[in-house]
Amino acid sequence: MRRFLLGLVHLFPEGFRREFGEEMREQIREDHDRAASRGRGAALWFSVTTGADVLASALREHLSPTWIGEPRSKHTHIMGRERMTMGEWLRDLHRAARSLRRAPAFAAVTVGTLALAIGVNTGIFSVVRAVLLEPLPFERTDELVIIRGTAGPDLSYGLAEEFYLQFRDSEVFESVAFFFDFTSSLRVGDEMERAWMGGGSSNFLETLGVEPIVGRLPTPEEKGRVAVLSHVFWTDRYGADPDVLGRTVFASGADLTVIGVMPPDFFFPPAEGVTLLIPQEIEAADVTPDIVTGFLSILARVRPGVGAQELEVELTTLARRIPERFGGSAAYAQQVSDFRPLVVPLQEDILGNARGPLRILFAAVGVVLFIACANVANLFMVRAEDRLRETAVRRALGAGRARLIGSLFSEAVLVAALAGGFAMVLAWVCLPLILAGAPDVPRLGNVGLGAPALAFAAGLSALAALACGLVPAVRSSAPDLGRLRDGSRGSTRRRSLGRDTLVAAQTALALVLLIGSGLLVQSFWRLSNVDPGYDTEDIFTFQIAPVSEELFDGPSYARFHMSFVERLRALPGVESVGVIENVPLNEGLSRGRFLREEEAGDPDAGEALSYTFTSGEAFETLGIEVLEGSTFTVDDFELGLASVVLSRSAADLLWPGESAVGRRLVSGANGTAYTVIGVAEDILQNDFRDAPQPMFWLPLAGPTATSWALSSPGYVVRTSRAETIAPEVRDLVREVAPGAPMYRVFTMADLAADSMVELSFTTLMLAIVSALALVLGAVGLYGILSYVVAQRRREIGVRMALGAQARRVQRMVVAQGARVVVIGVVAGLAVAVASTRVLDRLLFDVESADAITFVAMTAALLVVGLLASWLPARRASSVDPIEALRGE
């Protein structure tokens, strides 16, 4: 008992112990002997109280040291103490640095592992922070919602104007506004360009709760005559000139007076890049209901306390009354009665697409951090055990451990701090690469490694230091050490349980990430192999917006475009050229109600069909297969022919089982009848994930000169030089239509890649992250098994001496690794089954519980796990029994 009490003195910090240790021991000895002479009870009482006192005092001395080395005056003792503590701390770090320098491999592996993990975490965090966590530049954004209609899950549509008028006066809203976006020609000074613009009710900005920093908000009377500029546009085009107010900008076909400039962090919904806002108004007198879908996004500020349920009931009720207020056909009334409102928070609407993938990535890199910490903690644990064995035999138990824990902790702090530093460098190098490949997400431009990222990295480093420094400290608990002190190998089950748990957890998490990325890779592969109905290789596309006195109606524009098509055809290497109003994957289609000829005049009949306009060799150029009949000839527009080409699904919808060629299709809007001259293959206009929409193609000019005029359709050029032909086309544009802006310049291959960028980016990132997790997990398993083999050298030696075959020894070690891996795999599969659903929105043609992916990834992990076990096993079987036994 006395020895135990004396041993407790070792728990005091070294400096204190050096100074007072001997005196404390002396007092304990003397007091103990005196107490013992009074009887057992007294001795026990003394031991318990003194033990508690010494323990508590030692702990306190660690937390708030009283011994500072030398006497100081009463007035300076506080400052003096801090200086000394700081000095001691630095000394500790210095010692840790020296000891790490003696173990360069250990230092490199631990620092490298943590730096990698902290680096990717910091990178993704800075993206998450800028994109998701920073508040949107609007006032009380959580009250703002976007109202649309829905026709089942994942199907939403913009609403017609009457819905805005109907919702505007509802009590549940503080304010209701509408907005939309479009592309049109814009002229500042002499320079003409195409720009992304916004339209919105005059109370749109007020509803968002943002005031211009220069100028003022629009009034309802100013509709269509004024413009409010974005800060970027103002800076780029006007050099941030405060005298911009009152100047004229030509946009969307009208001269507009600049009345305001928005603040720098503000952007016009739906996204950054909208250059200016043109206030609009909708008058009830101008509204003629025809179809519930429209181009408006309705923005509303909900009164506090109004619940989602209440909102939906209110909107549904209001919508039901639209026909009685605005009229419309029975078919329209039917649409209204089917109407179901879809209310989406503005935040969700703007950031919704980015949120899913970012959260997945953030979680994935979090897993990598966990694996890295587990690995490094394991390495520290091994280091602790090795060193304890060195010292345990020679030293008093308590002293060795207390010092060891302290010095290991200093090493962990140093390793984590170094890792944090390297991580910042890594993030600094990698972040631009990540951003370059990222999908178009709002506020991605604000991503940077500022103070918050630095703080985050520092926080992670501190966490890593705690995990790697404390876990070994806690694990190196007394009972095991007692055995170590005897020099015996003994049972290491308890300690190995901790290690095995960590390795199994790593395996499980690595498997979850592997399965996740396996699902994404499969989706990506399948999506890349979807046949969209047109070719994406060797096609160059662009738009021009010619402006001239001679261009005013359908035929005049058509003539211009067709003559330009001839010029383009003459370029070297060009195989064919076509014109199409809405280039696939670049623009959506128009939509309207169309009837079969026999239904003409019936307001309730017909089908909702999409349409676009085309001429030249558009079908040949895009490689859209013509199934029946023919397509337009170059002169169709000169003859005023009213003909259409149907898509296969439109033909099936209108005349199922019959030939559509020669039939007539009637516009529900104006009664014009068109003859079907051909049927072509379905195409995927917007997204490879969508089902094809029933659609048709109209010629470039309509039956009359004023039916429609297409001022700036898209050109499609088939050439093997799609990547490089742009400058020649630009020269040609300058020649044929000087001053006409050329824009939306793409190759179809780029558009196809862009349409998949969300999936491909997430796939790539998750693949990298899970590969990292797999490698780290394998390294962890390998490291632990190598250590275990080293530890069991003697036992293995004995077995081999007794005649065990090398193969048996190998099998024994592999089995030990395999057990841990299998446990990890089982746990990982369970987690994966429960969690891969978060990928659902990104997946294409693959179930989130796809059996093949699960099996394949499990097999891959098992192979890697067995390999990581087999390498140490081979080493074990080469143990020379005599060597091993002598080594003791």
Partner 1 sequence: MTAESGLSTLEYHVLLAMAAGPLYGYAIKEAVEAESRGAVTPRAGSLYRVIARLISWGFVAEATPEGDVEPHPGRTRRYYALTREGRSALAEEAARLKGAAALAEKRLRVAGGRR
Residues that bind partner 1 (CB under 8 A): 9, 12, 16, 19-20, 22-28, 30-31, 49-50, 53-58, 60-61, 66-68, 71-74, 77-78, 80-81
Phi–psi pair at 13, nearest 5 degrees: -55, 155
Q: Judge contact between 542 and 577, C-beta under 8 A.
A: no
Contacts of 348 (CB under 8 A, 6+ apart): 355
Q: How far is the CB of 13 from partner 1 (least distance, A)?
A: 11
First to last CA, the chain: 32
Q: How far is the CB of 877 from partner 1 (least distance, A)?
A: 53
- For residue 507, what are the CA distances in angstroms to 364, 369, 374? 14, 14, 11
Contacts of 355 (CB under 8 A, 6+ apart): 132, 348
Q: Which is nearer to partner 1, 19 or 620 (CB)?
A: 19
Q: Which is nearer to partner 1, 32 or 443 (CB)?
A: 32
Structure tokens at 516: 């996740």
Q: How far is the CB of 3 from partner 1 (least distance, A)?
A: 15
Q: How far is the CB of 66 from partner 1 (least distance, A)?
A: 4
Give the Cα separation of 548 and 33 in Å (integer).
Answer: 114
Q: Which is nearer to partner 1, 89 or 552 (CB)?
A: 89
Q: How far is the CB of 399 from partner 1 (least distance, A)?
A: 16
Structure tokens at 459: 């926080």
Q: Which is nearer to partner 1, 81 or 483 (CB)?
A: 81
User: Mapping DSSP to helix (H, G, I), strand (E, B) and coil, where does residue 547 land?
Assistant: coil
Q: Which is nearer to partner 1, 67 or 655 (CB)?
A: 67
Q: How far is the CB of 46 from partner 1 (least distance, A)?
A: 9
Find where tokens 């002499």 sit.
190
User: Mapping DSSP to helix (H, G, I), strand (E, B) and coil, where does residue 744 land?
Assistant: strand
Q: How far is the CB of 57 from partner 1 (least distance, A)?
A: 3
Q: Which is nearer to partner 1, 86 or 855 (CB)?
A: 86
Alpha carbons within 13 angstroms on the beta-carbon side of residue 704 total: 5
Q: Which is nearer to partner 1, 68 or 827 (CB)?
A: 68
Phi and psi based region of residue 443 (left: phi greater than 0; alpha: psi -120 to 50; beta: remaining): left
Q: Which is nearer to partner 1, 3 or 98 (CB)?
A: 3
Helix axes 851-877, 806-835, angle to 10 degrees: 150
Q: How far is the CB of 73 from partner 1 (least distance, A)?
A: 5
User: Mapping DSSP to helix (H, G, I), strand (E, B) and coil, where does residue 637 land?
Assistant: helix
Contacts of 359 (CB under 8 A, 6+ apart): 838
Structure tokens at 411: 């090493």
- For residue 521, what are the CA distances in angstroms to 366, 371, 839? 21, 23, 12
Q: How far is the CB of 400 from partner 1 (least distance, A)?
A: 21
Q: Judge contact between 699 and 636, C-beta under 8 A.
A: yes
Q: Which is nearer to partner 1, 24 or 413 (CB)?
A: 24
Q: Judge contact between 700 and 687, C-beta under 8 A.
A: no
Q: How far is the CB of 89 from partner 1 (least distance, A)?
A: 18
Helix %, strand %, coil % of the chain (to 5)? 55, 15, 30
Find where tokens 């992916």 sit.
853
Q: Which is nearer to partner 1, 67 or 422 (CB)?
A: 67
Q: How far is the CB of 10 from partner 1 (least distance, A)?
A: 12
Q: Which is nearer to partner 1, 46 or 196 (CB)?
A: 46
User: Mapping DSSP to helix (H, G, I), strand (E, B) and coil, where does residue 279 land?
Assistant: strand
